[in-house]
Structure 1
Amino acid sequence: MVWNDQGLGADEVNVTSASTTIKRYSRLEKLEANLAGVRASIREAARVRNLTSTHEDPDYVPKGPIYRNANAFHRSYLEMERLFKIYVYEEGDPPIFHNGPCKSIYSTEGRFIHEMEMDNNIYRTRDPDEALVYFLPFSVVMLVQYLYAADSHNTDSIGRAVIDYVNVISDKHPFWNRSLGADHFMLSCHDWGPRTSSYVPHLYHKSIRVLCNANTSEGFNPSKDASFPEIHLRTGEIKGLLGGLSPSRRSILAFFAGRLHGHIRYLLLNEWKEKDQDVQVYDQLPHGVSYESMLKKSRFCLCPSGYEVANPRVVEAIYAECIPVLISDSYVPPFSDVLDWKSFSVQIQVKDIPNIKTILMGISQSQYLRMHRRVKQVQRHFVVNGPSKRFDVFNMIVHSIWLRRLNIHIENQVA
C-alpha cells in the first residue's frame, strides 16, 4: 500500500473521495427533485387566467395585461426567492473579473456583478453543492479595455482569456464538467458578448448567456439565453430620470436623437430627419435642448437598433414614461417570458420605418392612455436600486436566469 502525506492509504483516499462524490450527487438529486415540484406548481398557477395574481405579497402583487400570466409569474418569483442559490466562482482578479463599469452605457453589467457578490445577497451561496447555477464573473467590457488592441479587429486575446478561465474553473471544480456548462451563466452588456462566448463552444451553445446584445441573428437562443436590459447611468444613479409630463402635456408625437450607427439608424434619419415636427428625429440635438426633457414631453420614443440590437433608449423611454417604439427585426426584449411587450410598447419592423407616423397616429387616445399607465407600472421592473429591492431590475434579471435553469435537468454523471 502506498501512503500519502497525511498517513492515509490510497485505498482509504479513494473511499473518502467516493463518499464525497456520492454525497454531492445525492444533493444534486434532491435539488432536481425540488425543481420538479417547482415546475409543477408554476404550471398549476398558470391555469389561473385572472389578470391579478392570487398570491399574497406585502410588497407588490402583479396584475394587469403587462404580464403574460400574472399568477404564474408571481408563483415563479416566490419560488425563486425560496429556493434559488447562485455560486460565484472566486477565481480571477479585478479588474477583468469581479468588476465592471457602473457609470457608463454598460453600467448594468457592473451593477449586477457588484450586487451579486454582496454578502447580503439572498441568492448567493458560499456552498457550491447547494447552488442551482454558477456565475462566471468575468467582464467583457473589461476584457476589451485591457486586452484588445485598438483598431486591430482581432479579439483572439479576449477569447484566449475566457478559454483559460473556463479551463481553470473546470480543472478546479467538478460542476462545469458535470453539466458541460449548462447550469453556468455569463453576463455581458458589451456588443461583443456573443463573440466572446463563441471561443468556448459549450459556453456558447449550452450555458445561459445573459446578453444586452440579444440578437437572434447572432445566435441568441431565447430558450437558454436571457435578454439583459441596457441602462445608461451617466452618474451611476437614476435620480432625476424617472417620470415625465402627463399625457395631456406631451406635445411631441415621436422623438429620437442619436448618432448614425448602423443601417436601421441610417434609414430612420434619412426618412425623418428635419422632415416633420410630429416625428422629431435628430443625429444631434440643437444647442441648449435637453435630451431628457425631450423624452419626458414625447408620447412615443423611437428605439432603433444600432450596429447591434440593444440600446439604452428602451429603458430611457420607460423611465420617462414615454411609450417605447422598438425598431428591429431580431431583438428579443428583456423579461419577455413574463412581460407582454405588446401591451406597453410598439414594435415596428425595419421595412415600416416610412410608415412610423401613420402607425402611431393610428393608435387611439384611449389606447395610448392605457399604454401610458402600463409603462408607469412596468417601470418598477427596470429601476436600478442600491441595494436592490424586490421586483426591481436586478431581481428580474435573476428571475430570467432562474427560468432558464428550470428549463434544464442536470443528470448525475459520476465518472
Structure 2
Amino acid sequence: MSLDIKRPNSNKTKKKMGFIVKMQLHNNNNRGGSNKRNLFFVFFRSYYRWILWFFLSLYFFTSYFAGDQSSPSSTTTTRLLSNHNPSSSLPSRALIESSAIVTPGIFSGMKIYIYDLPARFNVDWVTKSDRCATHLFAAEVAIHRALLSDSSVRTLDPEEADFFFVPVYVSCNFSTSNGFPSLSHARSLLGSAVDFLSDQYPFWNRTQGSDHVFVASHDFGACFHAMEDMAIEEGIPEFMKKSIILQTFGVNYKHPCQEAEHVVIPPYIPPESVQRAMDRAPANGRRDIWAFFRGKMEVNPKNISGRFYSKGVRTAILKKYGGRRRFYLNRHRFAGYRSEIVRSVFCLCPLGWAPWSPRLVESAVLGCVPVVIADGIKLPFSETVRWPEISLTVAEKDVKNLRKILEHVAVTNLSVIQRNLREPAFKRALLYNVPMKEGDATWHILEALWRKLDRSYRRSRVLSE
C-alpha cells in the first residue's frame, strides 16, 4: 500500500482566479454592464495591497521633496518660533505647522504708507533733545526711521497701502523737574495730528483709523499716564480706539489700557550701547555677580495717594536680600551699569509703576537670565519668542523665596537657559536697527501687522470686487 503525498499546487489559486475572471468576462457578454462592477471588485480584492502601497509611497515621496525647500532665513525663523525641548530630537508643533511661519519675502505683499507730518509732530522734538532718540521710550523714533529705510514694505502711493503709519513723538517732552518724559501733552498732540490727517487726506475718514498705526511706548500704552489708576480713569483717547497701537504695555488679563487692537513691543535699548557693554565683558566670559539689580528701591515704598511704588516688591527685595553676599543690589544710578549686567548670572526685573521694564531687554541681550517679577505681564512678541526658555518668572508674593528659587535653577537647568540666551535670533528680535534687519524688532512688528491684514481697507475692496 502506498501513500502519495502531494505538495500544494501554488498555481492552483491563480488558475482558479483566472477561471473566475474568464467566466465573468464570458458572462459579461451575456449579462451586460452589471457584471463589470463584479469584475472590478474581484480585481481590487486581489490587488488592493499593491494599490495601497503605491499611493502611500507616492505620498511620502512627494512630501519629502516638498518639505525640503526651506531656505536659511526660514530655518532661523522656525527655530525662533519653535517651542521645542532642546534635549529632544522630536519636531515641535510649531515646526510641523511650518505653513504658519512668516518669512521675509511675505512682506513684499504688504504695503505701508508713512505720513509726512509737519515737523512739530516729530522732527522738532528730536532736534530739541538728543535723548528723544535714545531713551527707553524711543521706540516711536526707531520704528519710524526703520520703516522709512525699508523700500520693500514702504509705499509712496497711499492708494496701494494696507496700513498707514502716524509718526507722532509724544515721549520727547522731558520734564525739567525730574528729567522723565511728561505725557500731559500727548492727547492734544495726537488729536491735532488726527485733525490734520482728516483735513488733508481721505484715508482716516473712510475707516475711522482702523488701518492706521500709532506707537505708544509708555508705561500704560495709549492711556498716556504713568499712574495706573489715573491711566485707567482717562483711558485710551476715543479717536485712537479703532486703530492699531504698538505699545510696550501688555498684560494677560482684561485691562482698559489695552482695549484697542495692539502689538506688545520691546522698549528701546540703543544697539551701540549693547555692543559697548559686550566689548567690556570679561575676556574669560566669567560672570562673578550671582544676582543683580540696580535701580530705584525705596527703603519704605512711597505712598503717593495710596499708590505704592512697585507694589512694594522692590522694597521687599531690598529688605530681604540687601547686604547678602550673593545679591548685588544698588539703589544709585550708574551710567555704565550694563557692564555689570554682562558680569551677572541672574538679573532681577521687578515691576516699577508699570509691569514692564527696560531691564528685560538689557538682561536678555547681554546674556544675563531675566528674572521677571511682575504678575500677569505679557512679554514682547510672546506669540513667537520663546520666553519660557530664556527667562524665569517669579510671582510677586514669592520674592521672599527668591534665593531658593534661583539656587534651584542654578543646579538644574541654568546651563540650558544660558545656551538659549546665546541664540542670535532671540537677541536680534529685541533690538531696533536702522535700517531694519531681518528678524529684528521692527521686522517682528511687520510680521504682527501682516497677521492683521484683514483690517486693510484696500484688500477688503479687492476681495469685494
Output the TM-score relative to the length of structure 2: 0.66
Secondary structure of 2:370 counterpart: strand
Please tell me the residue identity of whatever aligns with 2:430. F
1:162 has 2:177 as partner: no
Which consecutive residues of structure 2, in runs of 5 or more, have no partner in the other structure?
1-62, 84-93, 127-131, 225-233, 298-308
Cα distance change, pair 317–73 in 1 and its aligned pair in 2 (3 A): farther
Q: What is the match of residue 294 of structure 1?
A: 340
Measure, in 2, the Cα distance between the counterparts of 1:345 and 1:247: 23
Letter in 2 for 1:395: W
- CA deviation after TM superposition for structure 1 residue 317, in Å: 0.6
Secondary structure of 1:336's match?
A: coil
Work out the CA distance in 2 between the residues paired with 1:149 and 1:127: 44
CA distance in 2, matches of 1:126, 1:185: 16
Kept in 2: contact 1:163–1:199 (CA 8 A): no
**Partner letter of residue 277 of structure 1?**
R
1:24-81 deviation line (CA, Å, top 9, x unaligned): xxxxxxxxxxxxxxxxxxxxxxxx9xxx997313586234476343564873233542
Question: Equivalents in 2 of 1:53, 1:325: separation in Å?
Answer: 39
Please report how far the alpha carbon of residue 255 of structure 1 lies from its aligned counterpart in structure 2 after TM superposition: 1.0
Cα distance in 1 for residues equivalent to 2:294 and 2:194: 40
Correspondence for 1:121: 151
Distance (whole Å) between structure 2 residues aligned to residue 217 and residue 282 of structure 1: 34
2:320 maps to what in 1?
Answer: 271
Q: Is the CA contact 2:170–2:189 (under 8 Å) kept in the aligned structure 1? A: no
1:55 aligns with 2:70: yes
Letter in 2 for 1:176: W
Matched AA of 2:445: I
Separation in 1, partners of 2:274, 2:287: 22
C-alpha distance in 1 between matches for 2:370 and 2:256: 25
Is 1:251 the counterpart of 2:288? The answer is yes
Maintained 8 Å contact 2:371/2:392: yes
The 1:199/1:74 distance shift into structure 2, 3 A limit, reads: closer
Distance 1:95 1:166 in 2: 11
Distance 1:105 1:58, change over 3 A: closer
Give the letter for the 1:62 counterpart: T
> Are 2:450 and 1:402 aligned?
yes
Matched pairs, number: 354
Read off the aligned partner of 2:245 and give its amino acid letter: R
Q: Residue 385 of structure 1: CA displacement?
A: 3.1
**Which residue of structure 1 lines up, in the alignment, with residue 385 of structure 2?**
339
Deviation at 1:238, TM superposition (A): 3.5
- Using the TM superposition, give the Cα deviation of residue 300 of structure 1 relative to its aligned residue in structure 2, in angstroms: 1.3
> Equivalent residues in 2 for 1:68-147 (5 A)?
68=83, 69=94, 72=98, 75-78=101-104, 80-94=106-120, 96=122, 100=126, 101-118=132-149, 120-142=150-172, 144-145=173-174
Q: Distance in 2 between matches of 1:343 and 1:73?
A: 23
Instruction: Evaluate the alpha carbon distance shift between residue 199 and residue 164 of structure 1 in structure 2; reply closer, same or farther with a 3 A threshold.
Output: farther
Return 295-304 or 208-217, whichever deviates more: 208-217
- Taking the aligned partners of 1:272 and 1:53, their CA distance within structure 2 comes to 53
Query: What does 1:179-218 align with in structure 2 at a 5 Å threshold?
Result: 179-191=207-219, 193-196=221-224, 198=235, 200-203=237-240, 205-215=241-251, 218=255
Aligned amino acid, residue 375 of structure 1: L
| One-letter code aligned to 2:380 | P
Summarize the Cα distance change of 1:60–1:392 in structure 2 as closer, same or farther, 3 Å threshold: farther
Equivalent AA in structure 2 for residue 305 of structure 1 = L
Q: Computing the radius of gyration over CA atoms, which structure comes out larger, 1 or 2? A: 2
Percent of residue pairs bearing the same amino acid type = 22
Q: Does residue 380 in structure 1 map to residue 410 in structure 2?
A: no
What is the letter of the counterpart of residue 343 of structure 1? E
**Bigger helix fraction:** 2
* Pairing 1:67–2:82 present: yes
Pair 1:77–1:246, CA change in 2 (3 A): farther
- SS of the aligned residue for 2:276 comes to coil
TM-score by length of 1: 0.73
One-letter identity of the residue aligned with 2:359: R
Contact map agreement 1:98 1:137 (CA 8 A) in 2:
no
Residue 333 to residue 407, structure 1, CA distance change in 2 (3 Å): farther
| Distance in 2 of aligned mates of 1:218 and 1:345 | 24
> Cα RMSD between the aligned structures?
3.8
